[in-house]
Structure 1
């Protein structure tokens, strides 16, 4: 049995998954913050517009598309000062052999990620 990934390692994995998607969609990275509680994780430019992206890794069986309304409301208020758009990126990560087990280093895992969710108010 391998070593279970730490919270920080799971967060970094989620950020890599989201980062690759952003890169492929032409987002330009202005700032990256890999601390899980320091938001947003990504500050990007696309078509001269600023985007704030909050990334969270979500463990099975939680819904990766469900987010904290209070946190995202605060992010939306913060983003308005910069005329920025806000997105939530929830990345579900689970063990490929048994979803009840943790995700282990160098072992297969399942990703449940539906892309960015725009936060509107």
Structure 2
């Protein structure tokens, strides 16, 4: 069975995409929480077939400009920094980027 490194572990959405859409065994973490990222890396095989990059989401609070900046940081930093980190594993296959976050206040 293929292995998928999945972000979006805060609510389990990355795991669901890995299983339902990719047919892979997920190893998930919440990339929005840096403390939660390294622990599951021990479960990874030497290579990872698919990265389900589903990190990010809606961040509320503050004025609209602050919300946009917080969302940009949560989505972009997680989407770019995580796949290039050692904790993501040695990805040899595809990257599936998913963004299902809602706009703040909606």
- Is the TM value for this pair above 0.5? no
Rg larger for: 1
Greater strand content: 1
TM-score (norm 1): 0.37
Greater helix content: 2
TM-score (norm 2): 0.41
Q: Comparing both chains, which one has the higher relative contact order based on Cα–Cα distances under 8 Å and sequence gaps of 6 or more?
A: 2
